[in-house]
Structure 1
Amino acid sequence: MLFTPAGVQSGVVVWFFTCSLTMVRRWGGATEESAQLLDGKRSGRPVLFTESVHLRLIAFYCQCPLPGCRSWSVRWATHYFNEHIEIIGRRISPSTVHRVISARSLRPHRVRYFLHITDPLFFPKMERLIQLYREPPQHLFCFDECSGVQALERIGVEIVTDHGVKIEFEYKRHGTRDFLSIMDVGSGKVFGRATENHRQETLVEFFTEHVNQQPKDAVLHYICDNLAGHSTELLCRSVAQLSGVPYPPLKRAQQRRQWLESDEKRIILHFTPYHGSWLNQVEIWFGIMGMKCLKGRSFASGDELGLAMTAFCATWDEHFAHPFRWTYTGKGLAEKVVSRFTEWLLLQHKQMKRGFLQKQLLLISNLRRDYWQDVPLKRWQDLHKVLADSGDYLQQIIDGCKKTQQALVVLLDELSAEFQSKRCCVK
């Protein structure tokens, strides 16, 4: 179309584009009739569902309006659309609904769990643990308990087929067992014990037994979560006795955790952040035990379950123990936290509670202070704008709480000062 008006011979155009002479002449004639490049009329049925219809369908499908229903299937949605023609203007088939939804990769019927960060000090705690994994001391252990494992006895006999094993659905309960575990990060070996409970006396006895197996003058590091039993008065006294240091009685759990984390003794505990138990490597081993030892098994008693877990622990240590290669660095996590909080504020969801909001504001303030460069500037600008525009929504949640109000004011002032110092224009 460009060559023909310029005087280029049609034969040259055919040779250059390797197309037919008929095509060259047809497009050349279309250019002479109109300067616009418009598609000619085609045969076939006109489009029934335009883009605006698609958008209305998607909006309705992703926000199920039926009372008591969180989501609906394609067939339910089709039935509802055909009963209420005014929504999209005409009847529709299930295949069309499925095609429109699938084209946008939308799956509103799927529900998955996630664990959001709520600890204001999550990132410095996470970095400390990652540093331990990168440069582990000689004696580094991960301590945790797999609690409430059910001893289920299948009523029927399992069936072995060419495609796997079939197990009876019906079962009989025989109570639960806990499995206490301390994993050596350097070797991957696990010191474990099956118990009927994980009360503080049981935990301290198990912990003391492991410490006594280590060299008497060695500095021992233990990574554990924030379970109440990991910071009891009894555990603190035991750690002090095993370390040969005095213990000043402390009433608050937070004070006891700080004392357990201090490096003024040879036994040092490192606590994961709240909602950060996945940073404990022994959780990986619990997953392996669940797949290799517990899945599909039938246990006639709690003792049989305990023996099975103990036997698996011994098998692991003898044949399969190996250190896990830790590769997680936390990259991108700070940006995800800021983006998700911004999205929640935009939605103005009624599930946002004051305590949760206060923790998020403190968390974002800490990110602003220590991890500003890890979050793109656009994310900070979006958050600042949403905070400034969501005054009524936030005040409704705060409801006069001075601590939450102060956290909000401090964050807004910090963001404004940060933008002003960098001469950023926030629209």
Structure 2
Amino acid sequence: MDLSSEQLDDLRELASSRHVSADVALRARIVWWSAEGRRRKDIAELAGVVPVTVDRCKARYAARGLAGLEEKRRGGPRDQVPPQTRGRVIALTKMSPPAESGLSHWSTRTLADHLRRREGISVSWHYVARIWREENLKPHRSDTFKISKDPAFADKVADVIGLYLAPPGGAVVLSIDEKTQIQALDRTQPVLPVTFAATEKRTHDYIRHGTTNLFAALNVTTGEVLGECRPNRNAVNFLAFLKKAVKPHAGKDIHVVLDNLSTHTTPEVKAWLSKNPHVHFHFTPVGSSWLNQVEIWFGILTRQSIRRGTFSSVNVLIKQIRDYIDSWNENAKPFTWTATAGEVLAKVRLVQTNMKKLVRNNSK
């Protein structure tokens, strides 16, 4: 079976979930092993089933995706959750998470947790995942941006996009941010369920060895990236990295695009800026990290180097990131920003209007 990385990730998550039955998890594992190219008879032996069951699981997945691996319900309605709850899941999925959550987009677990804690609605992440599949909702792959409530949103958008489209002559524009809590996952061979009477134990198919935080600066003009991994994300490490990022451009005006986080605006950072008037900060609107070009590079790094990688330690993960940055810089190319501030603001107004209509319709 030829499956995408997103499909494989979904299968792994379902196979290791504690919120589904052992049968559903085993079906997911069978399809996953098939996608890895394992032979039919080997899969049957590993799973403890007959070969025809392997064929049946693959056929169910091919016909209906993950929904085809779920239990077939006999009699009665398929879903006992009120239709208002389904509508609320769909409405929230199409909206940006609250600014105070710190989330850029919903996952099935964070949305289910938000509904439980904030709205008193108890549904499982598996229910949310099924609604997303049925409605073809993919917030983690959305190309839209988060709607900001920053009162200075328009001014900040115009300021940052102005740097991208028409940088000051002779100046350097750096896009800086931190990618936090990158996990060093050691992906091992799948572990089969071990059953003792009516008790089942399942383990994940990976081991966590710790995390690191990546500070990165993207040169908007050349596309080159300076990166440095540090164990902690704090104001001290940010200021140390900032000094390192601007050092190669001594004698030039330097414009830095970054998020307005507390670590970026400490008294120590402000004091350093006052002593270095050639460095200018340009903050993106609150909740609008999509406007920071280095976020594009973070996404590429994740897809091409981290997401499917196997790391036996944090040091191995850090070396992989360093090697990727070196390889990137050998043929660095800048991202081409084409949208004007006016076009972005017009899209925001359209999205806000559509969201208000959606909320009204789902509240009726």
Q: TM-score range by the shorter chain?
A: 0.5 to 0.7
Q: Which residue of the other structure, out of 207, 222, 240, is the alignment partner of 1:187?
A: 222
- The alpha-carbon deviation at position 343 of structure 1 amounts to 1.5
Secondary structure in structure 2 of the residue aligned to 1:299: coil
- The structure-2 alpha-carbon separation of the partners of 1:71 and 1:154, relative to structure 1 and needing over 3 Å to count, comes to same
> What's the CA shift string for 1:3-60, capped at 9, x where partnerless?
xxxxxxxxxxxxxxxxxxxxxxxxxxxxxxxxxxxxxxxxxxxxxxxxxxxxxxxxxx
CA contact (8 A) 1:194 1:307 kept: no
- The structure-2 alpha-carbon separation of the partners of 1:348 and 1:169, relative to structure 1 and needing over 3 Å to count, comes to closer
Is 1:324 matched up with 2:340?
no
Secondary structure in structure 2 of the residue aligned to 1:322: coil
- The alpha-carbon deviation at position 210 of structure 1 amounts to 2.0
Q: Equivalents in 2 of 1:303, 1:207: separation in Å?
A: 23
> What's the CA shift string for 1:53-79, capped at 9, x where partnerless?
xxxxxxxxxxx773499449xxxxxxx
- Amino acid aligned to 2:139: R
Secondary structure in structure 2 of the residue aligned to 1:213: helix
> What's the CA shift string for 1:181-239, capped at 9, x where partnerless?
01111100001111111111111111112222222x31110000122111111111222
Compute the RMSD of aligned alpha carbons.
Answer: 2.8
Q: Which has the higher contact order (CA 8 A, sep 6+)?
A: 2
Q: Which residue of the other structure, out of 77, 81, 85, is the alignment partner of 1:66?
A: 81
- The structure-2 alpha-carbon separation of the partners of 1:212 and 1:335, relative to structure 1 and needing over 3 Å to count, comes to closer
- The structure-2 alpha-carbon separation of the partners of 1:295 and 1:107, relative to structure 1 and needing over 3 Å to count, comes to closer
**Could you tell me which residue of structure 2 aligns to residue 173 of structure 1?**
208
Is 1:206 matched up with 2:244?
no
- The structure-2 alpha-carbon separation of the partners of 1:111 and 1:313, relative to structure 1 and needing over 3 Å to count, comes to closer
Q: Equivalents in 2 of 1:147, 1:268: separation in Å?
A: 24
Who wins on radius of gyration, i.e. which is larger?
A: 1
- Amino acid aligned to 1:151: A
- The alpha-carbon deviation at position 267 of structure 1 amounts to 0.8
Secondary structure in structure 2 of the residue aligned to 1:221: strand
**Could you tell me which residue of structure 2 aligns to residue 218 of structure 1?**
252
Q: Equivalents in 1 of 2:175, 2:270: separation in Å?
A: 18
Q: Structure 2: 5+ residue runs without aligned partners?
A: 1-78, 88-132, 191-202
Structure 2 counterparts to residues 71-150 of structure 1, below 5 A: 71=86, 108=135, 110=137, 112=139, 115-137=146-168, 138-150=171-183
User: Normalization by structure 2: what TM-score?
Assistant: 0.55
Secondary structure in structure 2 of the residue aligned to 1:207: helix
How many aligned residue pairs are there?
220
- The alpha-carbon deviation at position 173 of structure 1 amounts to 0.6
What is the aligned-residue identity percentage? 29
- The alpha-carbon deviation at position 286 of structure 1 amounts to 0.6
- The structure-2 alpha-carbon separation of the partners of 1:269 and 1:292, relative to structure 1 and needing over 3 Å to count, comes to same
Q: Equivalents in 1 of 2:288, 2:279: separation in Å?
A: 22
Q: Equivalents in 2 of 1:225, 1:175: separation in Å?
A: 26
User: Normalization by structure 1: what TM-score?
Assistant: 0.47
Q: Equivalents in 2 of 1:124, 1:213: separation in Å?
A: 30
**Could you tell me which residue of structure 2 aligns to residue 236 of structure 1?**
270
Secondary structure in structure 1 of the residue aligned to 2:167: coil
- Amino acid aligned to 2:246: V
- The alpha-carbon deviation at position 133 of structure 1 amounts to 0.7
Is 1:302 matched up with 2:314?
yes
Q: Equivalents in 2 of 1:111, 1:186: separation in Å?
A: 32
CA contact (8 A) 1:71 1:108 kept: no
